[in-house]
Amino acid sequence: MSTSNISFMEKLLDGVEVEWKPLGEVLVRTKGTKITAGQMKGLHKDDGVVKIFAGGKTVAFVNLEDIPAKDINRKPSIIVKSRGVIEFEYYDKPFSHKNEMWSYHSNTDHFHIKFFYHFLKLNEPHFQQLGSKMQMPQIATPDTDKFMVPVPCPENSKKSLEIQAEIVRILDTFTELTAELTAELTAELTARKKQYNYYRDQLLSFEEGEVEWKALGKVIKTVTAPSKLKSQAYRATGRLPIVDQGVEFIAGYTDENITPVEAGEYVIFGDHSEHIKYVDFPFVQGADGLKILSPISANAKYIYHTFLNFYTKKLSYKRHWSTAQQTLIPIPCPENPQKSLEIQAEIVRILDKFDALTNSITEGLPREIALRQKQYEYYRDLLLSFPKPEEVAA
């Protein structure tokens, strides 16, 4: 936010009185519609014009005639997701929701519904804490109806609405910037992945006679880890990293007095999960189902890239190594080991370069989004921190 915006808000809020009112007195609470998850699934149409909300991220789009007209809300509203993950959502198109949920809208021009949405989002942790007292997290209508919300300039509805609208405009700007950034970085990431896949396919496409195709099992030897750790022993920090067949590259850490797999270059294969990893540091094997592969007279990372490219996952939870080791790996210039290793190293260099570009965006995306979110939360806290009656009295 620019200095001019902050100065404008300081002037706008200078000397402003605030009246705290129960949300149920400021906005109108609306009921939902009687519908089950199965009915939502059956009625869903991709081109439906009415959005039906259920708990979490579950939604369905239906036609106007699919549910009673009285259950369709057409005013911009705040939807209260009251069970499971307790949160608030703003929606400004025709909608309904399951009847264990509720929503709020305004019947007057004096209130900007989105102002109260932002205030409720600010206070989501309060409602989540209330809900956590139940076995299944949930809140009840009195929890929101009686919740006190600020109404600036209650004696001057025009100025009150002006203040509400300006706060909404600023906070929405941060939300839009985050959405734009996410879209831009996601598009860039997609382009990088396509570029990487293109060059990988080109680099690993060989003419007949250029390479000798060998079964993976013929160009590697399996290494037995000197020790294994069960998942219960994994820690968030520690001296030695733990590698297992899970999706995470590093599954955890340990400080136990345990012998690791010695330093070297390895291709890791998850016998059940089929995840393929490249490791070049000492590590402890986590749990069972891990195949540690050490290439014979071949570039380890070349074997990693080619195995990753040519292996077809079976996507079933059973042991896969017996078939995985039959994966054909192209070995260039098999009659000239030195030249073969040089070609392998060059292919690895190019693929690693594109891999690094892709990963820099992959890692940067959540970091940039988190930064934008922190900016939004900072200004939201600043703009919505109105003094409560007891604070004014003090």
pLDDT tens digits, residue range 216-265? 999 999 999 999 999 999 999 999 999 999 999 999 999 999 999 999 99
pLDDT at 393 over 50: no
- DSSP class of residue 151 equals E
- pLDDT value of residue 201: 86
Cβ contacts of 111 within 8 Å, gap of 6 or more: 26, 27, 151, 161, 164
N-terminal to C-terminal alpha carbon distance within the chain? 31
Measure Cα distances from 88 to 48, 156, 259, 289, 342 in Å: 23, 28, 50, 43, 58
**CATH number of 214-332: 3.90.220.20, 3.40.50.2000, 3.40.190.10, 3.30.565.10?**
3.90.220.20
Q: Is 5 exposed, middle or buried (0-12, 13-18, 19+ CB in 10 A)?
A: middle
CATH of region 18-152: 3.90.220.20
pLDDT at residue 387 tops 80: no
What are the φ and ψ backbone dihedral angles of 104, each rounded to 5 degrees?
-130, 145
β-strand pairing of 328-332 with 290-295 = unpaired
- Contact by Cβ (8 Å): 327, 307: yes
pLDDT at residue 389, rounded to an integer? 63
Give residue limits of the domains in the chain: 18-152, 155-203+334-394, 214-332
* Assessment of whether the complete model's pTM goes beyond 0.95: no
Cβ atoms of 181 and 372 within 8 Å: the answer is: yes
Q: Check residue 39 and give its pLDDT.
A: 94
> Do the two domains 18-152 and 214-332 of this chain adopt the same fold?
yes
Burial class (CB in 10 A: 0-12, 13-18, 19+), 88: buried
* Whole-number average pLDDT of the chain: 90
Partnered with residue 268 across adjacent β-strands are 277, 292
